[in-house]
């Protein structure tokens, strides 16, 4: 199978690029995949396609740009030139731009692929029915929220014209099937990027690092975490370091710089900036725990799966998709009220003061992460593509028999 993946890809800063890297890494190791075609936003010379593992050839074709209105034409042109046997879209609603028209036009691409009779799967990381438009940086205006929800419904119908739409959370399957009266939605879990050997659950000498990881400024706010650690410092003598790993959300450029300025007098506060893929293992290994200072959620959390793969305790808000993941996939952590600094401080402190409890959480999360490696996830996609091909073949055979009669 010659498989094309439409996605952002490292070193792109567009969302879901890291997820694409791990999809590619594991798809290419399947004997069934003869060639991978990356239809992406970075050039072939920049794309990070050097892998240690043996696998098929990866061809990189730069064919779209963030916020470009012409993506709907340029991507289809690239698909016709490369002639893949199947196409996988790695999507969320703001994948092709933060300008509304550019974002919407890009989401019409799966329907065009199906129209051209190409087996098509959309991996949809979030659904509009579960997105808090205000906290996610779309709009605070209630009238505009209704308009965007209406547009989101229309775009979802276009996305659902794909042969299969895969979502990472079981609840999403039920929501989409009930609202849109469709049966082509399946759950394929997010999966865990890397499965290193089980860690020793020991930490390096020095302060305990309280780490958060992601793109910040919309529903991911670092203020509550910084202030919570300051509260713990005021009532204990434990040496703590706050590590903010990652960058601004594209919708809130300048947010982290404003946090640096606001908390300039807070000791042992580190902003790492963008973390290269090669540096991810170290930043997790050195952390005592991973905190999720979220006010809402917009889908399955890649950071939670990463934390699990490195055997880390986690501190999570008791809301939305994170709570569902804990129930569905077996992760464990301390929960807090996302509107309360005191609640977060208590949750962090409980883990700080009890190394045995921290280790137990890390062990449980490592077990949950190892149950769903990316090798298994990519195999699930290949099974779905094979099912699509068989279904199309049956329809062709049925049409042929009908015509001959």
3-class SS of residue 29: coil
Instruction: For 349-370, write each residue's pLDDT tens digit.
Output: 999 999 999 999 999 999 988 8
Rounded distance, CA 222 to CA 128, Å?
A: 25
pLDDT number for residue 19: 92
pLDDT under 50: residue ranges of the chain: none
- The Cα 221–Cα 340 span in angstroms is 13
Q: What's the pLDDT score for residue 399?
A: 64
Asked if residue 36 has a cis previous peptide bond (ω within 30° of 0), the answer is no
3-state DSSP of 357-396: HHHHHHHHHHHHHHCCEHHHHHHHHHHHHHHHHHHHHHHH
Q: Which residue has the tokens 């003869």?
A: 34
For residue 117, the model assigns a pLDDT of 92
By three-state DSSP, how is residue 50 classified?
coil
Contacts of 249 (CB under 8 A, 6+ apart): 137, 215, 216, 217, 218, 220, 255
Q: Which residue has the tokens 């895969």?
A: 166
Res 138: pLDDT: 55
Note the pLDDT tens digit of each residue in 314-347. Answer: 999 987 666 776 777 788 999 999 989 999 999 9
pLDDT of residue 132: 58
Strand order in the sheet with 334-336: 269-273, 240-248, 208-216, 289-291, 313-317, 334-336
Q: What is the mean pLDDT of the chain?
A: 89
Q: How far apart are CA 344 and CA 358, in angstroms?
A: 16
> DSSP string of 258-324?
HHHHHTTTSSSEEEEESPPGGGHHHHHHT-SEEE--BSS--S--HHHHHHHHTT-EEEEESSHHHHH
Query: What's the length of the chain?
Result: 405
Instruction: Say if residue 100 is exposed, middle or buried (CB neighbours under 10 Å; 0-12, 13-18, 19+).
Output: middle
Q: What is the DSSP letter of 193?
A: S
């Amino acid at each position: 199978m010659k498989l094309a993946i439409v996605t952002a890809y490292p070193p792109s800063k567009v969302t879901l690029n890291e997820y694409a890297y791990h999809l590619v890494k594991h798809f290419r190791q399947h004997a069934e995949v003869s060639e991978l075609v990356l239809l992406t936003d970075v050039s072939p010379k920049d794309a990070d396609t050097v892998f240690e593992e043996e696998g098929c050839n990866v061809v990189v074709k730069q064919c779209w740009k963030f916020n470009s209105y012409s993506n709907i034409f340029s991507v289809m042109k690239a698909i016709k030139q490369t002639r893949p046997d199947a196409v996988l879209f790695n999507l969320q609603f703001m994948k092709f731009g933060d300008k509304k028209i550019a974002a919407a036009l890009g989401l019409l691409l799966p329907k065009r692929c199906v129209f051209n009779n190409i087996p098509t799967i959309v991996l949809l990381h979030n659904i509009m029915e579960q997105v808090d438009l205000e906290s996610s940086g779309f709009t605070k205006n209630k009238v505009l929220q209704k308009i965007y929800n209406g547009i989101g419904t229309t775009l979802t119908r276009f996305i659902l014209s794909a042969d299969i739409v895969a979502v990472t959370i079981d609840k999403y399957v039920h929501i989409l099937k009930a609202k849109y009266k469709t049966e082509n939605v399946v759950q394929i879990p997010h999966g865990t990027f890397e499965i290193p050997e089980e860690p020793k659950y020991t930490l390096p000498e020095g302060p305990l690092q309280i780490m958060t990881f992601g793109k910040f400024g919309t529903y991911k706010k670092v203020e509550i975490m910084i202030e919570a650690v300051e509260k713990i410092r005021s009532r204990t003598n434990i040496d703590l370091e706050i590590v903010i790993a990652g960058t601004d959300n594209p919708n809130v450029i300048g947010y982290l710089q404003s946090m640096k300025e606001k908390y300039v007098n807070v000791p042992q506060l580190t902003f790492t900036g963008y973390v290269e893929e090669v540096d991810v293992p170290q930043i997790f290994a050195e952390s005592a725990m991973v905190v999720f200072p979220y006010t809402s959620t917009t889908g399955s959390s890649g950071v939670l799966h990463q934390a699990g793969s490195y055997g880390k305790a986690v501190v999570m808000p008791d809301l939305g998709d994170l709570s569902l993941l804990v129930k569905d996939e077996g992760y464990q952590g301390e929960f807090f009220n996302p509107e309360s600094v005191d609640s977060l401080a208590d949750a962090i402190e409980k883990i700080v003061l009890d190394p045995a409890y921290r280790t137990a959480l890390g062990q449980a999360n490592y077990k949950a992460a190892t149950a769903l490696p990316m090798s298994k996830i990519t195999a699930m996609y290949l099974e779905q593509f094979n099912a699509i091909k068989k279904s199309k073949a049956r329809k062709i055979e049925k049409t042929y028999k009908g015509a001959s009669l």
